[in-house]
Amino acid sequence: MHKIIDLKKIILILLSILILLSQSACEALKPKKVSAKDFPPDPRKRVEKNINEGKGFRVMGGGSKGTNYEFASANPLWRATLDTLDFMPLASANYSGGIVITDWYSENNSPNESVKISVRFLTNEIRSDALDINVYLKKCSEGSSNCSISKNNNDLVADLNLSILKKATKYQKQIIDKNKKENPYIIGDPKQGDSRE
């Protein structure tokens, strides 16, 4: 019985020592003393200094405009999909769910045939496998409510995919060009010993 109590005491003492040693090595948690002389008063120079030292970064021009909620309009793939399908009425467009579903659409010269398109986003990157597009064809017999619906993934899916990707690439390029104009700092990979002017 005394051996078990002694063993528990030894384990408790070793565990306490281990915890104390690990806590004393927390140098990163101690606050550093900072002098105001080390930081330029001009905010632009501070930002530039931080970027050059690798302490900060800007994403798409940073927050110089205040709060700006762009959400779906900032995603080129989403925008391109909506622009490509703008001739069709939408049944559902859920950005957070990553899906766009059109309503049934038929042209005036073929009232017995209608088409429905669903686009599911697999990624936000502009690439060939980013979208899962399905086209459904509904055919109804003359003067009847008997309709058959079939999945019709043929050349139309490939054409839609290509059209959306082309538009998304164009929108992405516009965003990049706009941000290059707004960002006054040089963006690139810093090289050792590189003096930027």
Decide if 78 is inside a domain: yes
> How many domains does the chain divide into?
1
Range of the domain at 81: 72-182
The verdict on residue 43 lying in a domain is: no
Q: Residue 72: its pLDDT value, please?
A: 55
pLDDT score, position 63: 46
Task: Report yes or no on 35 lying in a domain.
Answer: no
Residue with tokens 């900032």: 74
Residue 115 lies in a domain: yes
Residue carrying the six token digits 């020592």: 17
- Stated pTM of the model: 0.55
Is 90 domain-assigned? yes
What is the structure's pLDDT at 60?
Answer: 44
Instruction: Please choose, from the candidates 163, 116, 153, the residue with its C-alpha nearest in 3D space to the C-alpha of residue 132.
Output: 153
One-character DSSP codes across 56-84: ---STTTTTT-----GGGG-HHHHHHHHH
Domain assignment present for residue 96? The answer is: yes
Q: Are 172 and 180 in contact (CB under 8 A)?
A: no
Residue 140 lies in a domain: yes
Q: Is residue 80 part of a domain?
A: yes
Return the CATH number at 170: 3.30.530
CA 17 – CA 19 distance, rounded (Å): 5
Average pLDDT per run of 10 along the chain, which is 197 residues long? Answer: 80 84 62 67 69 54 43 78 91 88 86 89 89 91 80 87 93 83 61 51
Beta strands in 86-157 (DSSP E): 90-94, 99-102, 113-121, 131-140, 147-151
